Copies of this chain bind each other. A is one copy, B any other.
Amino acid sequence: MNKEILLKKRLILASQSPRRRELIQKLGLPFEAEVSDVDETIPEGMDAVQVPEYLSGLKAKAVYDLHKGEDVLVVGSDTVVILGDVIFGKPKDEEDAFRMLKALSGNWHKVATGVTVLSGVPGSGEIKQSAFTYVSDVKFFELSDEEIREYIASGEPMDKAGSYGIQQGGALIVERINGDFYSVMGLPIASLAQTIKKM
Which residues on A are within 8 Å of B, measured CB to CB?
1-2, 26-27, 141, 147, 150, 166, 169, 171-182, 189-191, 193-194
Given contacts A175-B190, A176-B180, 11 further A-B contacts (CB under 8 A): A1-B150, A2-B147, A26-B169, A26-B171, A171-B182, A174-B180, A177-B177, A177-B178, A177-B180, A177-B181, A181-B181
Tell me whether A190 and B173 are in contact in the complex, defined as CB-CB below 8 angstroms, given that A1-B147, A1-B150 are known contacts.
yes
Q: Nearest CB to that of A183 among chain B residues?
A: B176
B178–A190 CB distance below 8 A: no
Query: Counting chain B CB atoms within 10 Å of each CB, which of A180, A191, A193 scores highest?
Result: A180
Query: What B residues does A1 contact at CB under 8 A?
Result: 147, 150, 172
Known: A141-B194, A176-B179, A176-B180. A171 touches B150 (CB 8 A): no
